[in-house]
Chains A and B, each alone.
Chain A
Amino acid sequence: MSETLRVPATTYLQGSPPWLLDWLEEEDQPLPRLWFADETPQTEQQVQGFEIDRCPVTVGEFAEFADSTGYRTDAERHGYGLVYTDTWVECPGASWRAPGGPGTRTDGYEDHPVVHVSFPDANAYAGWAGKRLPTEAEWELAARGTRFRIWPWGDQWDGSSANTAETYAGPLTSLEEWRKWWLAAVERSGPMPRTTPVGTFAGRGDSAFGCVDMAGNVYEWTATPSGLYAGATACDPSVRMALGRYRVMRGGSWMNFRYQVRCAERIHGDPSGWSSFAVGFRCAKDAQSE
C-alpha cells in the first residue's frame, strides 16, 4: 500500500492571487479568464494535521481491492466508460481493466494510476484501505505548501517534472495543436491513456510535502463539494450550475496543457457514477495522534 506523508496542521490562503489570472490572460493559452475565475479569491483555510498518499492509487493496488472484495466499478456495472477518440465517447467495455476500451489491457500497467474510477468507486477503495479522500484544501496544501506556487515544484514550468500532453506533443498553445497530437497518437496506438508509472517524476516533480504526480498524470477526486470561494465570484455559467452538485477534482492529467495542472486549478466532476480514462485518485486520513 502507498506510503503516506504527514502534513501538519496549519492555516494558508487557498486559491490563486489576482496576478495569476492576469498571467493566464497574457499567456499563449486558449481559455478565457472567466474559465479560471473559480480559483479566486484566495481564502484562508484552517487545516488539521493529516496524512496523504505520496502517490495516486495504482492499478495494482486497485486490483488487490477488487480481487479481495469482488467490487465492480460503476463503469463495469454500466458497461461503458468515457474515452476520448476524436471527441468524448461512451466506450462500451471501457473500465479500469480495459482503459482504452475492448481489447486493451492493463498488463504492464500495475504501477500506473488506476483510471475509470467514479467518485463512489474512489470512496469504496478508500474505505477498504482505512482511509478517505482528501478534502480540496488538504490536496492543495499537500501540493504547494503554505506559500503560493504555481506548480508543485515552483513557479517555473518544467516539462520534465510532470506527465502532461506537453510531455508527448511539446509546448502546446492551442486546442488545435492538442487535437492534432492526440489524433495522431490514437492513429498509432489507439485511445490508451498516456499515464506514466506513479513516481516517474519523483524528485524534480515533488510537491512541497514530497507527494508525486500532483501535476498531471491523472485528475484526482477530492471529497469536497464544488463551491465558490466567494459567492459573488463571476464564473462560467455552466460551472455555476455544477456548484453544490459536483465534487472538486484536482491536479489535471496526462491530457492537459501546463495551465490545467497547476496546484490551484479546479475542475468539477459529476459524482453520480461517471468516470473516464483520465480520472483517478489518491487517499488521505486524519493524522494519528502522537
Chain B
Amino acid sequence: MVTIVLPTGWTGGRTEFEGTAGLLPEVIRRFADSHPEYRRRLLGPETELLRYINYCVDDDLVPRHARSETTVPAGSTVTVIAPMAGG
C-alpha cells in the first residue's frame, strides 16, 4: 500500500488516499481508475501523465524525464503538486 496525497483545493478537505506500489505512471493510472473524478486532472487522453503535474515520492521531486522509471515502494507517499499550488 502507498499513500497518495492530493491538494485540498481538489478535494475540498480530504488529502490522503490509498494506492498500490509500482512504477509511478501505473500507480497514478490505477488511482485514477479507482477515483475517476480526478482522472482528467492527472492523465491526458492517452492515459499519459500530464506533463505539468509534479510528483514527489516521499521527499524527492521526481524529474519529468525519470517518471516512467520511478518506482513507488510500498509504504511510501506520493504527493501530487499542481503547477499552481495553494491559492
B81 at the interface (CB under 8 A from A): yes
Chain A neighbourhood of B9, CB < 8 A: 31, 35, 236
User: Contact mask A30-43 → B, CB, 8 Å, 1/0?
Assistant: 11101100100000
Q: Are B79 and A241 in contact (CB under 8 A)?
A: yes
* A contacts with B: majority SS: mixed
Bound form: Cα–Cα A248–B47 in Å: 31
Contacting pair B84 A241 (CB below 8 A): no
Q: Which of B5, B50, B85 has the most CB of A within 10 A?
A: B85
Bound state CA distance, A256 and B9, in angstroms? 13
| Chain B, range 63-87, C-beta contacts under 8 Å to A | 79-87
Interchain CA distance A249-B87 in the complex, whole Å = 9
A interface residues with partner B (beta carbon < 8 Å): 30-32, 34-35, 38, 82, 87-88, 90, 219, 226, 235-239, 241-242, 245-246, 249, 252, 256, 260, 265-270, 274, 276
10 further A-B contacts with Cβ under 8 Å, apart from A88-B50, A269-B85, are A30-B12, A87-B40, A236-B15, A237-B16, A238-B7, A241-B56, A249-B84, A267-B84, A267-B85, A268-B85
How many residues of chain B are within 8 Å of chain A by beta carbon? 28
Residues of A within 8 A of B16 (CB): 237
Whether A270 pairs with B83 at a CB distance below 8 angstroms is yes
Contacts of B87 in A (CB 8 A): 35, 252, 256, 260, 265-267
Nearest residue, chain A, Cβ from B7: A238
Shortest CB distance B32–A (Å): 13
Query: With A and B bound together, what is the CA distance between A32 and B13 in angstroms?
Result: 7
Q: Say whether, besides A90-B51, A90-B52, A245-B61, A236 and B86 are in contact (CB < 8 Å).
A: yes
- List residues of chain A with CB within 8 A of the CB of B85: 226, 236, 238-239, 242, 246, 267-269
Question: What is the minimal beta-carbon distance from B45 to any residue of chain A, in angstroms?
Answer: 9
The reply to whether B61 and A238 contact each other, CB–CB distance below 8 Å, is no
Chain B CB within 10 Å, residue with most, of A236, A260, A276: A236
CB < 8 Å: which of B7, B8, B41 contacts A87? B41
